[in-house]
Amino acid sequence: MIKITRLFLLVACVMATALYGTASAQEPAEQETHQEPAEQEPAKPEAAQETEGEETSQPSAKEALFKDASETFQQAKETSADIFSPAQYAKAEQDFAKAQELYDVGNRIDEVYQNLASSMKALQSAITTAELGQVALKDLLLVRKETIDSGLSLEDSKDFQEAEKKFHQAVEKIEKDHDTKGARKPSEQAAEKYRKAVVQALQKTVLPDAKDKLKASKDAYSKDAYKEAEKSLKDFEKYVKAESKKEFSVAELISIVTRGIEAALKPPAATPDAGETS
């Protein structure tokens, strides 16, 4: 509400500036004829001229007018308002763009103000919803972020697609009715599907690829070292299967398996022959 009031004051300033400029332009030219010639100011020292040139330019009238809305958009992005309240966020963007368009073509300033005020109202609503969603879906947001940031190839995963669908159902419950209770079930279903998508990717892609790499580099291992590497990969298959039955941390599981695979695929350092001398 405070920011909207500030918008009104800025609009008033812009209108006053425009009126003042018009009045000044209409002053009789005769006044200029009878004015005494002003004394010419002495030239400024070079240092002073450089200092003056370095002064930061003041924001334009348009920048000042749209400043509060721009800052509120930044706040909205930080709270993921575009995710938690897509409808209100889209309306805010639409009204903001319309206000800029009206300003640029020189339409009535009151119409600019109306669109800016509408944009700010929609943004504040989106931010409120996002703040609620951040709390209500805290656990789901972490699972989703770790899954998306995992680096796993999940584009064709049906489980991942279903998880995204359930995630948006939970978000919709919060956006429309602020129904945190109603969002609980789809939220839990989404988290389960994200974890399942990760497990499937590890079991069907990551670990099989590791086995193929091991076979391709078999000659780099001694017989015993190769068997040990094979055993390590099988142990990680069992570990992933066991973890899939729990509410595991996605980031932790991926980290353990990735580091384990790297260790298994690293051939042991060659041991010098007993007869070699340095």
| DSSP-assigned letter for residue 105 | T
47 pLDDT higher than 70:
no
Calpha distance 183→168 (Å, rounded)? 10
Max Cα separation, the chain? 112
**Rounded Cα distance, 22 and 25, in Å:** 5
pLDDT at 62 (0 to 100): 84
Distances (CA, A) of 80 to 72, 89, 101, 106, 254: 12, 10, 26, 33, 26
Q: Tell me how far apart the alpha carbons of residues 161 and 165 are, in angstroms, rounded to a whole number.
A: 6
Is residue 267 a contact partner of residue 222, using CB atoms and an 8 Å limit? no
Residue 38 confidence (pLDDT)? 45
* Tokens of residue 274, six digits: 């007993």
Query: For the segment 183-212, what is each residue's pLDDT rounded down to a tens digit?
Result: 999 999 999 999 999 999 999 999 999 999
Q: Name the residue with higher pLDDT: 272 or 228.
A: 228
* pLDDT of 14 over the 80 cut: no
Banded pLDDT at 214 (limits 50, 70, 90):
very high
CA 208 → CA 174, 201, 204, 237, distances in Å? Answer: 41, 10, 6, 10
Q: Which amino acid is at 277?
A: T
What local confidence, expressed as pLDDT, does residue 106 receive?
83
Lowest mean pLDDT among 54-68, 128-142, 154-168, 201-215: 54-68
Query: 221, 267 in Cβ contact below 8 A?
Result: yes
pLDDT, residue 109, reads 87
DSSP reduced 3-state for 96: helix
Alpha helix locations (H) across the chain?
2-25, 30-34, 46-53, 61-78, 81-84, 86-104, 109-136, 138-148, 158-177, 180-201, 207-216, 223-243, 250-265
Between helix 2-25 and helix 61-78 the angle, nearest 10°, is 160
Give 108 or 170, the one with higher predicted confidence. 170
The model's pTM is: 0.71
Q: Is the pLDDT of residue 108 over 60?
A: yes
pLDDT value at residue 206:
97
Q: Per-residue confidence at 269, pLDDT binned at 50, 70, 90? A: low
pLDDT band at 3 (very low <50, low <70, confident <90, very high): low
pLDDT of amino acid 6:
52
Q: How confident is the model at residue 271 (pLDDT cuts 50, 70, 90)?
A: low
Return mean pLDDT, the chain: 82
C-alpha pair distances (Å), 100 with each of 12, 57, 91, 206 = 17, 22, 14, 50
Q: How confident is the model at residue 51 (pLDDT cuts 50, 70, 90)?
A: very low
